[in-house]
């Protein structure tokens, strides 16, 4: 009978931000729906934490891990090719290895799920008579924009960022032109063509789309993807909201004990957690302003510091912060560690984010608004200061701030203007001390509960991701998006959900100065705004719980997807007998 068990193969593209959502999906399917799961992980071999994670999972019996090496693509790249272009080429060149791996499986899997950057592998499924799906670990509005982009490409003249009127997508809130994902910033760049192709692939090559979200997270866009006639004429295939899938605390892990011991000594909701994800980086000037903003706010903080980069806000995407970074930072203001040692903790490169966001002393999260972080913040019940950096983070920030009320953000996008220390101080105080921060905390708690219900009450056992971890911990954010879709995430968190704040100008466009950073930190950690966001994040956390519950929307959607796969599997077997 075990041979009859539905076998699903999932392709993961390089980068921790891509691998973690795939591992979470695989874990969910294997451990809670009892399916056979194989993960085809295209790995760069440059991330120690990635290799360690894959090795640990490979020792488990419930998920099979197959590592797919990346072929040499150096001759295919052009100078200054963006991350999106590099990933697209990597996954294109890895197709033969992926095909060989699937061909070697006996019997072949019944279903192939491709992530965002591996959609060109979908035709492999047809060769082996497999069902084929795309997994999009992003908010519904990002998926709507991505799939509708080829229509906008024909309608809009000139650069999207130069448009005066927001971009209209049927059934969705308009997308501000400054919030478009990185590939849309320059239509002459190769990454734009890759991005348009991906959106077309999702709807023309797949049998359906799995979306890591739940009903209370941008519900209007989710409804549009499912029911709006104009958008459905483009999307065509079924959309399954199966989230939020996020990392869980590992009770057996001793990693980060120093941080947890420090947090244990701090008052409840008094600490601001500052982290820009596994791939985000700041310029040296912006890092100085952030340091001063945190210091001037006088709020307790835990700051995960990575060496500064140049203009690229996704400078650590393929390295993720290596062991070489794990030294006391020498790129902070002179005497900084000494002056802040009584109320701040600076950690090089990496920290146990899920543990931190779920610690009772953490009351705010300054985040780049990558979706993993957004969900982890919501599930922690923590409001945010939205600081989008790259990718779709700006859009995420706008939704979190403007629509959901669980975040605050700088007055101008950090990508446009450096966020100065005064504004940072103000935001931090608002989030951590103010009424707004408390209100956001309550909102995030409600979201957290709805997320739990959506997944069937199994959240405490799922394992692995960042916006979701903050939400789950009930922690509001300072949104500091760096790359990919993070600006979009940040915009959603700040503008729509109100669980984060962010710099006035995108960090990618202008260095965020110390004064603005100080202002943001004070606003988040001390201010009325920070308190309001904490309440919002708590509300969001509750809705996330509900979505994962036995009768929750995400649980039902996952079951619907699995039933569909099972019915199609039986049909294929019946036809083969004929």
CA–CA separation, 421 and 172 (whole Å): 35
| Neighbouring residues of 263: CB distance < 8 A, sequence distance ≥ 6 | 271, 302, 356, 359, 361, 362
Contacting residues for 499 by C-beta, under 8 A, at least 6 apart: 377, 378, 383, 384, 400, 401, 404, 405, 406, 407, 440, 443, 444, 447, 471, 476, 477, 493, 533, 536, 537, 540
Query: What is the Cα–Cα distance from 104 to 100, expressed in whole angstroms?
Result: 6
**Nearest-angstrom CA–CA distance, 200 and 183:** 15
Q: Is the dihedral of CA 548, 550, 554, 560 positive or negative?
A: positive
Query: Is residue 359 flagged as an active site residue?
Result: no
Q: Look up tokens 């953490």; give the residue.
A: 362
DSSP 177: G
- Strand partners for 531: 437
Distances (CA, A) of 103 to 44, 408, 524, 544, 575: 23, 50, 53, 38, 21
Residue linked to tokens 């448009």 = 163
3-state helix, strand, coil in the chain (%, to 5): 50, 15, 35
CA distance 494 to 528: 15
Q: Is 162 in the active site?
A: no
What tokens appear for 118 in the block? 């591996």
- CB burial string 206-242: b at 16+ within 10 A, e below: bbbbbbbbbbbbbbbbbebbbebeebbebbebbbbbb
Q: How many residues are present in the chain?
A: 578
**Helical packing angle, 435-454 and 553-577, nearest 10°:** 30
SS3 state at 361: coil
> Of residues 7, 110, 115, 218, which has the active-site annotation?
115
Token look-up 């963006």 returns: 82
Could you give the angle at the alpha carbon of 390 between the alpha carbons of 389 and 395, nearest 5°? 90
Question: Burial code of 77-88, b = ≥16 C-beta within 10 A, e = fewer?
Answer: eeeebbbbbbbb
36 beta partners: 7
**First-to-final CA distance of the chain:** 22
Please identify every residue annotated as catalytic. Answer: 18, 115
């Amino acid at each position: 009978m075990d041979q009859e068990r539905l076998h699903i193969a999932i392709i993961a593209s390089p980068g921790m931000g891509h691998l973690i959502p795939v591992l979470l999906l695989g874990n969910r399917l294997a451990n809670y729906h009892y399916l056979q799961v194989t993960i085809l992980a295209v790995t760069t071999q440059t991330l120690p934490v990635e290799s360690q994670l894959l090795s640990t999972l490979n020792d488990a019996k419930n998920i099979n891990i197959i590592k797919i090496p990346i072929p040499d693509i150096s001759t295919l790249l052009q100078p200054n090719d963006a991350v999106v272009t590099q990933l697209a080429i990597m996954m294109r060149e890895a197709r033969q290895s992926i095909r060989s791996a699937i061909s070697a499986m006996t019997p072949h899997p019944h279903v192939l799920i491709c992530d965002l950057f591996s959609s060109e592998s979908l035709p492999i499924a047809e060769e082996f008579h497999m069902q084929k799906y795309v997994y999009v670990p992003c908010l519904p509005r990002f998926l709507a924009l991505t799939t509708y982009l080829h229509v906008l490409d024909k309608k809009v003249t000139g650069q999207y960022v130069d448009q005066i009127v927001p971009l209209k997508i049927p059934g969705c809130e308009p997308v501000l032109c400054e919030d478009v994902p990185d590939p849309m910033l320059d239509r002459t760049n190769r990454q734009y063509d890759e991005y348009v192709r991906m959106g077309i692939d999702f709807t023309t090559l797949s049998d359906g789309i799995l979306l890591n979200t739940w009903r209370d997270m941008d519900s209007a866009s989710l409804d549009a993807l499912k029911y709006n006639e104009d958008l459905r004429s483009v999307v065509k295939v079924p959309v399954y909201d199966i989230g939020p899938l996020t990392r869980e605390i590992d009770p057996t892990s001793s990693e980060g004990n120093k941080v947890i011991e420090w947090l244990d000594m701090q008052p409840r909701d008094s600490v601001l957690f500052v982290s820009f994800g596994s791939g985000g980086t700041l310029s040296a000037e912006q890092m100085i302003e952030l340091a001063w903003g945190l210091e001037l706010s006088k709020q307790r903080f835990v700051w995960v510091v990575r060496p500064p980069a140049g203009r690229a806000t996704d400078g650590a995407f393929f390295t993720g912060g290596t062991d070489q970074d794990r030294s006391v930072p020498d790129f902070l203001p002179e005497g900084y560690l000494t002056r802040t040692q009584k109320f701040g903790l600076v950690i090089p490169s990496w920290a146990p984010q899920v543990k931190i966001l779920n610690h009772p002393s953490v009351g705010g999260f300054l985040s780049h608004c990558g979706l993993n972080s957004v969900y982890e913040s919501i599930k922690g019940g923590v409001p945010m200061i939205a600081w989008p950096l790259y990718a779709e983070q700006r859009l995420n920030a706008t939704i979190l701030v403007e629509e959901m009320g669980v975040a605050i953000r700088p007055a101008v996008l950090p990508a446009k203007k450096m966020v100065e220390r005064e504004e940072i101080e103000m935001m931090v105080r608002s989030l951590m001390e103010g009424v707004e921060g408390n209100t956001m905390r309550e909102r995030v708690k409600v979201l957290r509960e709805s997320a739990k219900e959506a997944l069937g009450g199994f959240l405490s056992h799922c394992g692995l991701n960042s916006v979701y971890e903050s939400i789950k911990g009930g922690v509001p954010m300072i949104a500091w998006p760096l790359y990919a879709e993070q600006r979009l995430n940040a915009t959603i968190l700040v503008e729509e959900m109100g669980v984060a704040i962010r710099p006035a100008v995108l960090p990618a466009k202008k260095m965020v100065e110390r004064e603005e950073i100080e202002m943001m930190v004070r606003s988040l950690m001390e201010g009325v705004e920070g308190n309001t966001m904490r309440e919002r994040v708590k509300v969001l956390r509750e809705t996330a719980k509900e979505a994962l519950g036995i009768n929750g929307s995400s649980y039902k959607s996952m079951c619907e997807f699995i039933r569909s796969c099972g019915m199609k599997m039986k049909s294929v077997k019946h036809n083969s007998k004929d």
